[in-house]
Structure 1
Amino acid sequence: MVSGNCLNVSSAPAKDYADDDIQKVRSANDWLPVTSSRNGKWWYSAFHNVTAMVGAGVLSLPYTMVFLGWGPGICLLVLSWMITLYTLWQLVDMHESVPGRRFDRYHELAQYTLGETRGLWILVPLNLTVEVGVDIVYMVTGGQSLKKFHETVCHSCGKIRQSYWILIFSSVHFFLAQLPNLNSVAGVSLAAAVMSLSYSTIAWGACFYHGQLEDVSYGYVHTTPANTVFRVLNSLGVIAFAFAGHNVALEIQATIPSTPEKPSKIPMWRGVLVAYFVTALCYFPVAIVGYWAFGQIVDDNVLLTLKKPDWLIAAANMMVVVHVIGSYQVFAMPVYDMIETVLVKNFSLAPGFWLRLLSRSSYVAFTCFIAVTFPFFGDLLGFFGGLAFAPTTYFLPCIMWLIINKPKRFSLPWLVNWFCIIFGVVLMLISTVGGLRSIIIDAYTYDFYQ
């Protein structure tokens, strides 16, 4: 059957294709980044998911507390952690919900549950927004962290434009982008996962070492009512952004071998549980201790607020750089897969080195250009969080799970799923508006290509 840009041979009757067509599709699937390797282990799932989830958003969590306050901020963070763990379990469970078939890509599951055309047009724009948006934000984060590292270790050095630091950060991705699939970036992803736990620990540890400011204030920021409301909405988007692994979950699971005796969901779920435990160790201390130390004056990147000790802040920023290098590649891999699927299967281009070099290098250059042009770090988090993360993370898995499993109306599973759906829809609407408004305001005062 034709699934948008993907041709799933395993689920199609043999009579639908000529032998040579089937061979071409199988040959392409053996080359494409998502389906070319099925030898992943459960710990691959663990550090891929940590790398995907614990990203730039963790450093903005104290900033969200400024506008949400202690009670609402912590409650929303806990609620988001619980809901996203549940919806991620749903995706893992639905990966092989049809006997003899694996939904290797998020949009394939959407097409099966929502309809071939409707599922494609609903999921692909959202997924691309998430994956490309994350990569753009990580370009900004990498450049900011390199700039902060340079300024911390060399106080007497002249300042270099942030745009140049983003360009420097992007250069490494032109090389890493040529790694063929997710399993081939396992080492990079492991280093990124270790760095995420390390810099999160440094962030809250340094805040704790710094201690409370003498005149620290936890009250709501005094500004216009309209600005307060919109900043709250943007903060909700940042929290949505913090749990971002769903968009690559099925692609990660696709790299794990599966048999009837040991389906892929067993090792995948084991890795997810480890990843969510690590996520909790990163998120909650950073959010609570960072806000406790600085209150209202914390920046949208808590590492930018910290000034001393220099060596610790420099180390933390370099750890952020290593982490977002790995995160960029984890989120970029499904995009590479989609681009190369279109070029190979729809335009009949021969798979090989030159196709991979040109397509992936073009993607890296595109994300770098957008990052240099619009480096509004906190506002980008809120906007992308509301527009695309909320649907793909909070409520689309619930809708698909209801369609496949058909629980009894008003039963506990039915009620839980509808609660997640309503929560996700509300989050999507209000945080998108807040993020977009913040971007527009900042754009008026920003000197482009600074």
Structure 2
Amino acid sequence: MAAELHRGSIYVDQDPEAFSNGGVRKNLDDDGRPKRTGTWVTASAHIITAVIGSGVLSLAWAMAQLGWIAGFAVLMAFSFITYFTSTLLADSYRAPDPVTGRRNYTYMDTVRAHLGGRRVQLCGLAQYSNLVGITIGYTITASISMVAVKRSNCFHRHGHNVKCHTSNNPFMIIFACIQILLSQIPNFHKLSWLSILAAIMSFSYSSIGLGLSIAKVAGGGNQVRTALTGVTVGVDVSPTEKVWRTFQAIGDIAFAYAYSTVLVEIQDTLKSSPPENKMMKRASGIGVSTTTIFYVLCGCVGYAAFGNDAPGNFLTGFGFYEPFWLIDLANVCIAIHLIGAYQVFGQPLFQFVESKCSEKWPENKFITREHAIEVPFIGVYYMNFFRLVWRTAYVIMTAVVAMIFPFFNDFLGLIGAASFWPLTVYFPIEMHIAQTKMRKYSFTWTWLKVLSWACLIVSLVAAAGSVEGLVQSLKAYKPFQSQG
């Protein structure tokens, strides 16, 4: 009877011992956990949801700071590095062997299996602080897109010279309310439908932005200035501003490729056959190549459309005013996409806290007990009071912080800079060296180390540029005005 009840449920916290009879064990993996059903298609959807995010909207601005040569080169460099290190990370999912070894369910587990020591804590600090930062950033960006819809209609009715100021805060509260509901989805395995929807939305608004940029370039009209080296010192910016903006642009591009933070958790949703690392490499190849094509098109065409005056976000910064309904549609797509993306980045953090609390207080019924609730047309939903309280509190916290720091480009750059080196480069390389027992000072070992140190320098200068940008934004910040 219990087995029948559980088959129709949204969430089942399955205990292997409870299913040892009746042939139910065939529904479990070799480690006793529920059998995974993910494929390279669902993994690709998760990746695209995580990668093609709000960062794509800032690429025209980043290209304007770097110019045609450096902008394109940096985009391609980050694309290559991200794909290369993601393949190393995919092989590290099982240890010691990438195909037959023991599964590691989280990024921290993977680092613990291959490296151990204090680096496990450093990985956890980098990963989970980064996840917090991304969810805050997505709250900011989603609210800006919601505000942009209201402002777009205002501009259409009253003219482009009207200020149409609107506070972001009510829209952040709306976004948080939606996330409180969605956060009760218990785990990553139940998120495939949301990621597929979010991926469709990301393609939609990227395509709209690209199409409007092409139309602007093709239509001629106002002449724009572009340059091989980007914004011109003495004309557009001062020498100091040029340096800081260059660093910040690098951070923005790094953020635009950030998904290594959740790669292991995505891989843990994949079926065991064919091998997870093979499917994950395929999904990473599809995800990174698809997003790179969009990024190059949006960045380059956006720069061609707006030149050195490209706004930080060309859909919410009103690089375009008409057709207003298309701008509205694009911003609605952004908001829907970020609703899903928030969950992709929030779920690993939710599950980390819940598993640690369950380990520390296994007898606490508030933390461990699941309450069955019959949901019409869906089945049985298992509600956990600790999950309800903790996740609700977390969403509220991210919304409050977002209200205090409602900035876009500077926040993106800082998040990208902080996460890129440790999570995308350092740990995948170090785990690959340990897993393959690579000889120290060999050719491969040397160039992997050089790549890691070079990326560390890039992350540091990008972080410095983003901090400077945040300081300037704080000085200029006027509360209760839209930051779009």
TM-score by length of structure 2 reads 0.82
**SS of structure 2 residue aligned to 1:82:** helix
Q: Aligned equivalents of 2:446 and 2:287: distance in 1?
A: 27
Aligned residues of 2:183 and 2:391 also touching (Cα < 8 A)? yes
Write out aligned runs for 1:294-305 (5 A).
294-303=306-315, 304=317, 305=319
**Aligned counterpart, 1:176:** 182
Aligned length: 418
Residue 218 of structure 1 pairs with residue 236 of structure 2: no
Residue 407 of structure 1 pairs with residue 438 of structure 2: yes
What amino acid is aligned across from residue 178 of structure 1 in structure 2? Q
CA-to-partner distance for each residue in 1:162-191, whole Å, 9 max, x for gaps?
111111122110110001111212111101
**Aligned counterpart, 2:251:** 237
Pairwise CA distance, 1:409:
5.0
Pairwise CA distance, 1:415:
4.3
**Aligned counterpart, 2:8:** none
Q: Aligned equivalents of 1:201 and 1:379: distance in 2?
A: 24
User: Which region of structure 1 is more displaced relative to structure 2, 197-206 or 151-160?
Assistant: 151-160
What amino acid is aligned across from residue 146 of structure 1 in structure 2? M
Q: Aligned equivalents of 2:440 and 2:307: distance in 1?
A: 45
Pairwise CA distance, 1:111:
1.9
**Aligned counterpart, 2:380:** none
Write out aligned runs for 1:353-368 (5 A).
353-368=384-399
Match for 2:47 among 46, 49, 54?
Answer: 49
What amino acid is aligned across from residue 405 of structure 2 in structure 1? F
Structure whose CA Rg is larger? 2
Aligned residues of 1:52 and 1:330 also touching (Cα < 8 A)? yes
Aligned residues of 2:127 and 2:261 also touching (Cα < 8 A)? yes
Pairwise CA distance, 1:209:
0.5
Q: Aligned equivalents of 1:43 and 1:82: distance in 2?
A: 21
| Structure with more of its chain in helix, by fraction | 1
Write out aligned runs for 1:342-381 (5 A).
342-348=356-362, 349=364, 350-351=367-368, 352=370, 353-381=384-412
State the superposition RMSD in angstroms.
2.2
**Aligned counterpart, 1:153:** 153
Q: Aligned equivalents of 2:132 and 2:17: distance in 1?
A: 31
Aligned residues of 2:123 and 2:422 also touching (Cα < 8 A)? no
Match for 1:196 among 178, 188, 202?
Answer: 202
Q: Aligned equivalents of 1:343 and 1:436: distance in 2?
A: 34
Residues 163 and 428 (structure 1 numbering): CA distance in 2 closer, same or farther, change over 3 Å?
Answer: same
Q: Structure 1 stretches of 5 or more lacking a match?
A: 1-20, 25-29
Aligned residues of 1:372 and 1:449 also touching (Cα < 8 A)? no
What amino acid is aligned across from residue 144 of structure 2 in structure 1? Q
TM-score by length of structure 1 reads 0.88
Aligned residues of 1:248 and 1:331 also touching (Cα < 8 A)? yes
**SS of structure 2 residue aligned to 1:69:** helix
Pairwise CA distance, 1:224:
2.5
Q: Aligned equivalents of 2:207 and 2:46: distance in 1?
A: 19
Indicate the percent of aligned positions where both proteins have the same amino acid: 30
Pairwise CA distance, 1:314:
1.0
User: Which region of structure 1 is more displaced relative to structure 2, 244-253 or 179-188?
Assistant: 179-188
Write out aligned runs for 1:9-408 (5 A).
38-98=36-96, 99-116=100-117, 118-154=118-154, 155-156=156-157, 160-211=166-217, 214-219=222-227, 220-221=231-232, 222-258=236-272, 262-303=274-315, 304=317, 305-348=319-362, 349=364, 350-351=367-368, 352=370, 353-408=384-439
Q: Aligned equivalents of 2:129 and 2:240: distance in 1?
A: 27
**Aligned counterpart, 1:418:** 449
Q: Structure 2 stretches of 5 or more lacking a match?
A: 1-14, 19-27, 159-163, 371-383
Aligned residues of 2:135 and 2:345 also touching (Cα < 8 A)? yes
CA-to-partner distance for each residue in 1:212-260, whole Å, 9 max, x for gaps?
563311242432222221111111111110111111010011111215x
**SS of structure 2 residue aligned to 1:122:** helix
Q: Aligned equivalents of 2:476 and 2:422: distance in 1?
A: 31
Q: Aligned equivalents of 1:367 and 1:23: distance in 2?
A: 38
Aligned residues of 1:234 and 1:382 also touching (Cα < 8 A)? yes
Aligned residues of 1:391 and 1:424 also touching (Cα < 8 A)? no
**Aligned counterpart, 2:468:** 437
**Aligned counterpart, 1:27:** none
What amino acid is aligned across from residue 381 of structure 1 in structure 2? L
Aligned residues of 1:54 and 1:279 also touching (Cα < 8 A)? yes
Residues 182 and 22 (structure 1 numbering): CA distance in 2 closer, same or farther, change over 3 Å?
Answer: closer
Pairwise CA distance, 1:37:
6.1
